[in-house]
Structure 1
């Protein structure tokens, strides 16, 4: 596995999950009988594609069966190119836009298909009978992930307003102020869960956490946020998750 981290920092969540998964498989002898999985961990600085390529070559010289990570696009693309050339499976967990030429034949992405998520969000808009919707995205990839919704005005009677979160600051109050002034009550936020946490706090401070507002968050990690402060505010929040947190096995993994 190749994982990005701040220099001399602790192991990240992806690395811990990777180790936990392999150890769990090794303890369950019914999954891979007569086989023991071993791993080699390499850490690189974020966005260091040259170092990522070097570490991948080092691991391939060991005869690894597959390479897991890294996550950030520049480093991931460098490793993916090497894996494609040598026919070694490359596994990632972060969202990636799929191209149609299928050159990445040895690429596996564990993140759900973006078109399925986009259609699910559009289905929610129909279910709630929203006729006016504001889409707030963090970066340009959000427009790709939400393409089914972006196409909605030409297909359905839906008015769509698109806004972008500020890229140079975490202060979303000026944007929220514009939305409040424009009475934009139905909002879809495409951003990470950490950004979502900041948006909720700022919206609360601006009086935008009332029963008039309904927010949909596209992040699959919304369940990881502490929403207790907003429980009795009256605001409606909708999110997605692919984990069954009511499962005892899943709960034990999350706790660890």
Structure 2
């Protein structure tokens, strides 16, 4: 029986979060499938690192390599991931990650599962072109959001498409939505943190109550957005709950190991 160990690095705020649960569940499923890796058992070594400390993160990675890991997953923080990727590249160790990476160059030993911003922008352009959008408001919360969408603004799918760019936060969503409504823009792209999406939707609902004369198109957009968000939230929470229940016995399953320090 062959034994392989995969290392994983998560920031402290990700401890026991969905990403860690998904990683452990993947190891669990691989070990349960006797046809996928016959005569092989996967172990995992999990390390938790501070988000703003690249030195200790690199040190933890070196400890994992000394421990005998054959691959490293994470971390998702861009600054930390760059250091880990460099270490893995120097030692010819496969590196798996799932994060936004704006650097286009090829990385020989790194596989990024996160969609490239070029592909996301192309998807936005296809949707906007199909729906015949002529005016679009883009609300972004962090500067990285504008960087991700800058190609969309520079090369719009239509020649005379109008864009309204605004940086927002939960404290300013309501005022931004009022401005968008006053400009008669009914198509909005929002780049915000997942935990702040409910604040944005609350602002949309408040605006709809304040202005009873809102057009049918705006109200229909509000309803569609709310339904989509509810559906996504429902399936996401149900999936996380299922994974959490299944992962409850993972650490007691033969072939699994959690190592933290």
TM-score in terms of structure 1 length: 0.77
Residues 174-227 of structure 1, C-alpha deviation per residue, up to 9 Å, x if partnerless? 32232233232211112232222221112211228974328xxxxxxxxxxxxx
Aligned residues: 226
CA 1:128–1:27: 2 relative to 1, 3 Å: same
Contact in 2 for aligned 1:133/1:186 (Cα 8 Å): yes
Contact in 2 for aligned 1:172/1:202 (Cα 8 Å): yes
CA 1:156–1:233: 2 relative to 1, 3 Å: closer
Question: How far apart are 1:235 and its partner, in Å?
Answer: 3.0
Which ranges of 4 or more aligned residues in structure 1 deviate by more than 4 Å?
251-254
Provide the residue aligned with 2:203 in structure 1.
202
Provide the residue aligned with 1:193 in structure 2.
194
Question: How far apart are 1:68 and its partner, in Å?
Answer: 0.6
Q: Distance in 2 between matches of 1:170 and 1:184?
A: 21
Provide the residue aligned with 2:242 in structure 1.
255
Choose between structure 1 and 2 for higher RCO, CA contacts under 8 A separated by at least 6 residues.
Answer: 2
Question: After the TM superposition, which residues 167-246 of structure 1 pair with which residues of structure 2 at under 5 Å, given as runs?
Answer: 170-207=171-208, 211-213=216-218, 235-237=223-225
Question: After the TM superposition, which residues 1-256 of structure 1 pair with which residues of structure 2 at under 5 Å, given as runs?
Answer: 1-6=8-13, 11-100=16-105, 102=106, 104-153=107-156, 156-166=159-169, 170-207=171-208, 211-213=216-218, 235-237=223-225, 255-256=242-243
CA 1:210–1:30: 2 relative to 1, 3 Å: farther
TM-score in terms of structure 2 length: 0.75
Contact in 1 for aligned 2:186/2:217 (Cα 8 Å): yes
CA 1:164–1:129: 2 relative to 1, 3 Å: same
Q: Which has the higher helix share?
A: 2
